[in-house]
Each structure stands twice: as structure tokens, then as C-alpha cells.
Chain A
Amino acid sequence: DVVMTQSPLSLPVTLGQPASISCRSSQSLVYSDGNTYLNWFQQRPGQSPRRLIYRVSNRDSGVPDRFSGSGSGTDFTLKISRVEAEDVGVYYCIQGTHWPSGGLTFGGGTKVEIK
């Protein structure tokens, strides 16, 4: 199965400062069509998750441009250029390239909080 490993587990950030979250997969996420299906989600306290990024670096509609995704192969990063109060929550990555027999697995999550 494909294992997604996120770090750090917790990320205290000062308002206005950048934040960076890492997501690593146990296998390359490049699909046979040439695309890399790596997705990032944000879950604010008490809310449903919301997708921020798909295919490594494509922002979903309505997602502020302070969020950016990058990476390739097995190593990926979600960056927030300047953290705002509304960015507090837990961030998850998940891959859509492989369909292992055991099913899909989210990364363990990274909790972003304000210092």
C-alpha cells in the first residue's frame, strides 16, 4: 500500500509568517498519463474538510493565492506564504494515483496554530 507521511505533526506559526508542510509518499505518484495526483485538504475547527490543491499545485476555486503546492515524485510541500488567523486547522494530503487493494490513506495531518 502507498503510505503518506506528513510532517510536522504540529506547526505553531506567527501571524503573517510563512508555513510549510511536507508530505512524502512511499511510492512515486506519477501516473501513466503523466499527471501526479497529489491533493491537499484543509479542515478548520468544526468544519468539513475542504480541498485546497489538486495535482500537486492547482488551487481550487476560491482558495487564496497565499496557498501553494509544489513537489514531484514522492516529495510534496504545501506552503502558506503569510499565515492568517483563518488558516488555523488541520491539513491533510492524499494521493489519487494508485488504487491499492487496502484502499486510500490520508496523511496523518498537520495542525497549524497561531503562536
Chain B
Amino acid sequence: QVQLVQSGAEVKKPGSSVKVSCKVSGGTFRRNTINWVRQAPGQGLEWMGRIIPIIAITNYAQRFQGRVTITADKSTGTAYMELTSLRSEDTAVYYCARDTDYGDLMGVWGQGTLVTVSS
């Protein structure tokens, strides 16, 4: 059974960066797309971007272009999401989620990582 395990909560200063990891176990890492989704307190789900590990292709939501970088380490089966120039509005729970096939989005989710941006 595929599981996604994310890194722990982070507290960051405005203007700094955060890098969240997502380790995939129990499945084939390379083929399936890994997405990153965030949820600000009391808000809905917001898709940030994705990576197809086998070909290292990424797509990002327009509003995060230039601030987010998603990478994948095939040797460890781990995906990463780095967000730079943090501001208070970036305080949110960040989730990774793995597609099960083309178009069958986000069938498996990580537990979420709370990132708090505060001075």
C-alpha cells in the first residue's frame, strides 16, 4: 500500500524559504505524478504544482510561478517543495498527493505539514 510521509512542522520568518519533503513508500515512485496542495486556515484547497518524477517535468500554478520549486529524488523516493520569499499569507498546511493514473488525481495524500510564517 502506497504511503506518503511528510516532514514536520516549520516556523519561518517573513522573507525566508521553506522546503517540505514527501517520502513515498510502498509503490513505484518514478511513474506517478506528485502534486503539492496547500490549505490556509479556514480556507479551501489550493493546487500549487506537480512533478512527474520519471521525466522530472514540473508544472506550477501561475500565482506561485517564480516562488515555488518542486523536485524529486528518485534514489530515495522523495519529493520536495520549496517556497521562497515567505509572507504571513503563506501560513498553511502543505500536502503532497500522488496521482494514481493520468487524470485520476491525488489518490493518495500525505499527512500534511504546517508551515507558520511569523516574525
Contacts and interface: CB of A to CB of B under 8 A. Distances in A.
B45 interface: yes
Contacts of B111: 48
Contact of B107 (A54, A92, A97, A109): A54
Interface size of A as a range? 20 to 34
A39 B104 contact: yes
A39 B106 contact: yes
Interface string A91-115: 0101011010111111011000000
Given A102-B62, A103-B62, A31 B103 contact: yes
A23 to B, nearest CB: 13
Contacts of B104: 37, 39, 54-55, 96
Interface of A: 31, 35, 37, 39, 41, 43, 48-51, 54-55, 60, 90, 92, 94, 96-97, 99, 101-106, 108-109
